């Protein structure tokens, strides 16, 4: 699974504010509804900037670390 971009998160936030459903948002950004649903439930209330910062932090924690 590829992570969502900052722009996709901004679109999710905007469409949520306009009361779009998870399925409609997923169709709009061409992602799986489960991906959008998981993303929305990571941060409540959903804010794109906070969600993106959290995703970057998690990516760093999962990434490779230097062994030297």
Cβ contacts of residue 68 below 8 Å, gap of 6+?
none
Task: State pLDDT tens for residues 6-57.
Answer: 999 999 999 999 999 999 999 999 999 999 999 999 999 999 999 999 988 8
pTM: 0.86
Instruction: Give the whole-angstrom CA distance, residue 8 versus residue 28.
Output: 10
Task: State residue 39's pLDDT score.
Answer: 96
Task: Report d(CA 61, CA 21) in Å as an integer.
Answer: 31
Whole-number pLDDT of residue 65: 57
Specify the pLDDT at position 64: 59
Q: CB–CB of 13/5 below 8 Å?
A: no
**Dihedral pair phi/psi, residue 67, rounded to 5°:** -100, -10
Question: What's the pLDDT score for residue 68?
Answer: 56
Domain boundaries, the chain: 6-62
Q: What is the pLDDT of residue 7?
A: 98
């Amino acid at each position: 699974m590829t992570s969502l971009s900052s722009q996709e998160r901004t679109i999710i936030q905007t469409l949520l504010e306009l009361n779009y459903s998870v399925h409609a948002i997923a169709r709009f950004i061409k992602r799986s509804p489960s991906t959008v649903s998981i993303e929305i439930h990571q941060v409540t209330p959903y804010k794109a900037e906070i969600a993106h910062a959290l995703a970057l932090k998690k990516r760093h924690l999962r990434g490779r670390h230097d062994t030297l």
